[in-house]
Amino acid sequence: MRTIDFSPLYRSVVGFDRLADLLDSAAVDSASGYPPYNIERTDENAYRIEIAVAGFRPEELNIEVKENLLTVTGRRTANDEPRRFLHQGLAKRNFERKFQLADYVLVTEAALADGLLSVALKRELPEALKPRRIEIATAQPTLIEAEKAA
């Protein structure tokens, strides 16, 4: 995979160094395809991340949000029962998936059903940042009354 050099960009813009860091970390995170996931837009300001976690129990999964970084980890607990497989095609790997969240995006709920971990997200802008409609005042013309002619 090619690396992208952002140094020419730094000469002409200020404050976008975080964007370059995000792109670099996205390239590193995409190297591992386990576990597979979907990101779905469910509404104008709502999203859902679905992660395939077949075989994981709820107590083996952890969801954490810190400084706009959503981290989902799966850690298998030791199984005391020895098993002999003739074929083992199901992955039993520990994993860690990270998702960079935009400002004002909050995790609202998480659910585990049918081997899919669903994490619901919602963007909640503060009132000060929401668009507002400004009324336009119109000046009323003033009438000059003439005096009665005598």
Host domain of residue 14: 1-31
Domain match, 26 and 74 both? no
Let me know if residue 133 belongs to a domain. Answer: no
The per-residue pLDDT for range 42-90, each reduced to its tens digit, is 999 999 999 999 889 999 999 999 999 999 999 988 776 778 889 988 7
* CATH of residue 93: 2.60.40.790
User: In the predicted model, is pLDDT for residue 15 greater than 70?
Assistant: no
Which stretch of DSSP H or E encloses residue 7? helix 7-10
Let me know if residue 140 belongs to a domain. Answer: no
Let me know if residue 56 belongs to a domain. Answer: yes
What pLDDT score does 33 carry?
82
Domain match, 90 and 101 both? yes
Q: Which of 37, 26, 34, 51 is nearest to 95 (CA)?
A: 34
What pLDDT score does 34 carry?
87
What pLDDT score does 51 carry?
96
**What is the count of structural domains for the chain?**
2
Distance CA 106, CA 124 (A): 7
pLDDT band at 150 (very low <50, low <70, confident <90, very high): low
User: In the predicted model, is pLDDT for residue 1 greater than 60?
Assistant: no
CB atoms within 10 A of CB 76: 13
pLDDT band at 29 (very low <50, low <70, confident <90, very high): low
Average the pLDDT over each of 24-28, 75-79, 109-113 and give the range with the smallest value.
24-28
Domain match, 3 and 65 both? no
Domain match, 106 and 63 both? yes
> Which residue did the predictor score with more confidence, 43 or 11?
43
